[in-house]
């Protein structure tokens, strides 16, 4: 069974010969390796295989596709076979590492006491790893302070995802009876996950505001995968090492569900190389290869043509959506202008104009906000303020300005769509009718009028729904709440 797997980018200058040089240098330092393997070196050929009893050492190179696979399988003192696999795709600069174990009993159990192979750690120490969307792949933690806190905020808010899992260690806000060694944790996870550590509790407080209180805090650890996240709280009575092992082995266990891409595996490369050799020996097979290439080209041409049609269709669909949105916006503005003109024609009273660049999401939105804010301000005035000119002017503005009921209509529609969202799914049809757009995922996101500042996030799991009242409060406060 697979007990360890990881995959990350390497530097552009790291080539197949570099990988094999490091791999063969590490073999003599591996535990239980037979003496016959310790003197083996790469001689520049594209294939090699050595055996010593059940122990094997192999590598295979596909020079055309720039792929290389390296494997060493060693039987330990407990008669268990441990297989280390390394695969490098030189074209896209991606390396994959895997450790598998074959036991005579209990083979389905995950080995929580295994160590990351020396050869895997050495690759990190050699500095061959590239960055992961800006985060370094190393055996050292990244300290999160007030200057780079946006890295974590973007992860929690779903703006940034990384190829490797990200471990966020939050700062303790009070003394405790143990301390997690984040440097050792980073060494454990080198090449497997990024370790981000909050510098102090001030970072936690800032993250709380930046992430709507979704960040871990007071020593809790959260692990972010590209498709999910898990939080681990500190447990009293747990030692630092026990807590560390729980985090690291949980990640190892989840990542072990993956395997090296088939195209990069040792067996696939060996089979492909053998096929190439057989094809080159006979004219008949060469002709078949030519026919295959011709068909492949036709397939690619047809596929490109189909992709072009799909791209054109997508572009037209996007243009139609954009034009529809612009048309809706122009209609709203037209209604607002007609209403304003009507009021000006019917009234001899003075008017005040305001300049603004924010797009109005519905008719009279800006006017409504101004009038409601003025009303809120003058309602809080004391008796002394009510005798002042400013109060009289503002009160007069509130009394003499009427706004459309479009805002109330939208608010009532949102209430209807969200009133039962604590016990069943949100009424998406109602929400989209007033300008929300749905983006599905592990959590559904409803974005108002295409503006990411106004986003409602709702869980897909019924057992995890917040009450309808809470979601409704969030929506009304976001779109109609006063300062």
Domain assignments of the chain as residue spans, ordered by start: 1-130+261-278, 141-255, 327-399, 406-480
How much is the pLDDT for 466? 53
How much is the pLDDT for 177? 45
Distant-in-sequence, close-in-space partners of 366: CB < 8 Å, separation ≥ 6: 354, 356, 358, 360
Rounded distance between C-alpha atoms, residue 297 and residue 433, angstroms: 47
For the record, the structure tokens of 31 come out as 């535990």
For the record, the structure tokens of 357 come out as 């660049």
How much is the pLDDT for 246? 85
Architecture of domain 141-255: 3-Layer(aba) Sandwich (3.40)
Check if the beta carbon of residue 186 is closer than 8 Å to that of residue 141.
yes
Task: Give the three-state DSSP class for 352.
Answer: coil
What are the beta bridge partners of residue 101?
A: 82
What's the maximum distance between 2 C-alpha atoms anywhere in the chain? Answer: 105
Measured at the CA of 178, the angle between CA 176 and CA 183, to 5 degrees, comes to 120
Rounded distance between C-alpha atoms, residue 370 and residue 402, angstroms: 12
Averages of pLDDT over runs of 10 residues in the chain (483 residues) are 91 96 95 94 94 95 95 92 95 95 60 79 92 93 95 94 93 65 92 94 94 90 86 71 86 87 91 86 76 88 86 85 79 71 65 86 90 92 91 92 90 87 74 92 89 87 62 89 85
Rounded distance between C-alpha atoms, residue 382 and residue 369, angstroms: 23
How much is the pLDDT for 347? 61
How much is the pLDDT for 107? 47
Rounded distance between C-alpha atoms, residue 127 and residue 129, angstroms: 6
How much is the pLDDT for 174? 66
Backbone angles phi, psi at 6, to 5 degrees: -155, 165
Check if the beta carbon of residue 57 is closer than 8 Å to that of residue 50.
yes
In terms of DSSP H, where are the helices of 9-51?
A: 16-26, 35-38
How much is the pLDDT for 108? 46
How much is the pLDDT for 109? 52
Q: Which of 445, 440, 436 is nearest to 479 (CA)?
A: 436
């Amino acid at each position: 069974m697979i007990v360890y797997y990881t995959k990350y980018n390497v530097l552009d200058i790291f080539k197949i010969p570099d990988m094999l040089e490091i791999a063969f240098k590490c073999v003599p330092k591996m535990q239980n390796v037979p003496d016959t393997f310790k003197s083996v070196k790469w001689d520049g050929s594209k294939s090699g295989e050595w055996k010593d009893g059940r122990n094997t050492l192999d590598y295979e190179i596909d020079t055309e596709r720039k792929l290389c696979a390296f494997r060493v399988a060693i039987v330990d003192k407990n008669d268990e076979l441990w297989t280390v696999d390394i695969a490098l795709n030189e074209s896209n600069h991606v390396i994959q590492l895997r450790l598998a174990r074959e036991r005579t009993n209990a083979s389905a159990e995950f080995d929580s006491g295994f160590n990351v192979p020396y050869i895997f750690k050495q690759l990190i120490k050699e500095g061959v790893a590239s960055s992961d969307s800006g985060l370094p792949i190393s055996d050292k933690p990244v300290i999160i302070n007030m200057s780079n806190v946006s890295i974590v905020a973007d992860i929690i808010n779903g703006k940034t995802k990384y190829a490797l899992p990200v471990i966020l260690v939050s700062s303790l806000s009070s003394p405790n009876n143990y301390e997690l060694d984040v440097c050792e944790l980073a060494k454990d996870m080198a090449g497997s996950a990024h370790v981000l550590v909050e510098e102090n509790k001030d970072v936690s407080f800032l993250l709380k505001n930046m992430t709507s209180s979704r960040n871990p805090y007071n020593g809790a650890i959260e692990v972010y995968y590209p498709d999910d996240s898990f939080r681990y709280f500190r447990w009293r009575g747990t030692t630092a090492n026990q807590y560390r092992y729980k985090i690291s082995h949980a990640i190892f266990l989840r990542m072990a569900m993956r395997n090296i891409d088939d195209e990069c595996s040792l067996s696939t490369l060996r089979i492909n190389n053998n096929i190439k050799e057989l094809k080159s020996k006979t004219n008949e097979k060469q002709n078949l290869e030519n026919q295959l290439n011709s068909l492949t080209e036709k397939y690619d041409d047809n596929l490109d043509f189909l992709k072009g049609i799909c791209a054109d269709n997508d572009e037209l669909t996007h243009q139609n959506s954009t034009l529809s949105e612009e048309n809706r916006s122009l209609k709203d503005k037209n209604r607002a202008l007609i209403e304003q003109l009507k009021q000006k024609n019917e009234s001899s009273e003075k008017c005040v104009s305001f300049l603004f660049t924010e797009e109005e999401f519905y008719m009279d939105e800006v006017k409504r906000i101004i009038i409601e804010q003025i009303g809120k301000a003058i309602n809080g005035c004391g008796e002394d303020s009510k005798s002042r000119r400013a109060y009289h002017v503002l009160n007069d503005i509130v009394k003499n300005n009427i706004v459309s009921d479009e805002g109330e209509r939208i608010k009532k529609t949102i209430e209807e769509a969200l009133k039962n969202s604590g016990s069943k799914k949100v009424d998406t049809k109602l929400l989209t009718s007033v300008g929300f757009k749905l983006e599905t995922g592990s959590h559904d996101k409803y974005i108002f009028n295409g503006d990411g500042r106004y986003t409602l996030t709702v869980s897909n799991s019924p057992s995890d729904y917040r009450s309808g009242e809470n979601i409704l409060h969030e929506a009304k406060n976001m779109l109609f709440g006063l300062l």
